[in-house]
Amino acid sequence: MTVDVMMAAAQGLLALALAPAVVGLVRWLKARLQNRRGAPPWQPYRELRKLFQKEVVVSRHASWLFHLAPFVVFASTLAVAVIVPVLAVPLLVDRIGDLLVVVYLLLLGTFFLALAGLDPGSAFGGMGASRGVTVAALAEPTLAVAIFALARSAGSTNLGEIAARTIADPLSAVSPGHLLAFAALFIVMLAETGRLPIDNPATHLELTMIHEAMVLEYSGRYLALIEWAAALKLLVFFALLGNLFVPWGLARAFTLEAVMTAAGVFAVKVGVLAVAVAVLETRVAKLRLFRVPELLTASFVLALLAVTSSFLLR
């Protein structure tokens, strides 16, 4: 039991430590694809360190919710990072939360972030909140049906079970159901983490913002927590895409060697996904906000096809 708890804590710490590097890597790759040098991949660590030392300025119209929200967002995202298989399966922490818990914990973060956007009474915050919850709501069906597709073949919605089943039956990793579910989840990842073509993380035009607009009023350590939570969310989705669909490399036994290998393989998977995201963001332009539901509907159809195909090909 104690080993399990230690492993869970190690997973959380690794995710926490690795998350800014992932964001930095994507930014660095995008810079290179724009023919410029860009900041080194560890730049987000410097930014976080600086933010923690800065003063916090709060609007006089904001309430206690504004102060509470960054902690709720950070804690819930970190809890998700502990539950999602990063290093080893199966862990005891697996029995505390399954895929549905992961989805709804992320929704908890979105709920509080949206409320924090409305709190200071600024129009941009309200707009960000409105768009943010719209995108989150429209991504829900795809997530649920993709979970259904995965759970159906694994017989359980618990993440460890799903990963273990794919390891036990390698051919299922290339079954049409899995591939379609991967594609659907990839699109949902872009939507939930605010990446192109749904949302531009580097934009300055408020009318094009979704996630950024909700955090315009935050500064200092609150902003650091929210940025870190956003990076964690990206890492969590990478972990889901990597370790549920390609689970080889996850430690099955709790030896130091297995854990080290698992950490290395995880870093490689994250790197590959970061390259994919960076290349995609360079290739496509941002969608008009009212075209985003069309994209999400397309991902829903993919997920539905995943479930149907896994039924037909049993």
Looking at residues 158 to 217 of the shown chain, list those that interact with other proteins (rule: CB under 8 A): 158, 202-206, 209, 212, 216-217
Interface with other proteins (CB under 8 A), residue from 25, 26, 69, 72: 72
105 is a contact residue toward other proteins (CB under 8 A): yes
Contact yes or no for 249/258 (Cβ under 8 A): no
Q: Which helix (H) or strand (E) holds 260?
A: helix 256-283
291 is a contact residue toward other proteins (CB under 8 A): no
Closest approach of Cβ 211 to other proteins, in Å? Answer: 12
Contact yes or no for 199/193 (Cβ under 8 A): no
By rule CB under 8 A, what string of x and - marks binding of each residue 27-66 to other proteins? ----xxxxxxxxx---x--xx-xx-xxxxxxxxxxxxxx-
82 is a contact residue toward other proteins (CB under 8 A): yes
HSE at residue 283, side-chain half, CA atoms within 13 A, is 6
Segment interacting with other proteins (CB under 8 A) among 151-159, 167-175, 178-186, 270-278: 151-159
3-state secondary structure of 6: helix
Q: How far apart are CA 187 and CA 306, in angstroms?
A: 14
218 is a contact residue toward other proteins (CB under 8 A): yes
Quote the crossing angle between the two packed helices 2-33 and 256-283, to the nearest 10°. Answer: 30
Of 130 and 172, CB closest to other proteins: 130
Of 186 and 300, CB closest to other proteins: 300
Query: How many other CB atoms are there within 10 angstroms of residue 151's CB atom?
Result: 19
Q: How far apart are CA 292 and CA 295, in angstroms?
A: 5
Q: How far apart are CA 219 and CA 304, in angstroms?
A: 41
Upstream peptide bond of 197 is cis (omega within 30 degrees of 0)? yes
Segment interacting with other proteins (CB under 8 A) among 137-145, 176-184, 185-193, 243-251: 137-145
Closest approach of Cβ 265 to other proteins, in Å? Answer: 26
Interface with other proteins (CB under 8 A), residue from 18, 19, 22, 78: 78
131 is a contact residue toward other proteins (CB under 8 A): yes
Dig out the tokens for 101 from the structure: 């818990």
239 is a contact residue toward other proteins (CB under 8 A): no
288 is a contact residue toward other proteins (CB under 8 A): no
Of 134 and 175, CB closest to other proteins: 134
Interface with other proteins (CB under 8 A), residue from 26, 225, 230, 246: 225
Closest approach of Cβ 253 to other proteins, in Å? Answer: 22
Dig out the tokens for 286 from the structure: 């941002």
Q: How far apart are CA 232 and CA 226, in angstroms?
A: 10
Of 265 and 300, CB closest to other proteins: 300
Residue type, 284: V
Interface with other proteins (CB under 8 A), residue from 85, 87, 111, 190: 111
Of 32 and 260, CB closest to other proteins: 32
Interface with other proteins (CB under 8 A), residue from 151, 231, 250, 278: 151
Residue with tokens 């709804």: 104
Dig out the tokens for 244 from the structure: 């549920």
Interface with other proteins (CB under 8 A), residue from 7, 15, 21, 129: 129
Q: Which helix (H) or strand (E) holds 248?
A: none
Dig out the tokens for 120 from the structure: 């200071």
Query: How many other CB atoms are there within 10 angstroms of residue 219's CB atom?
Result: 15
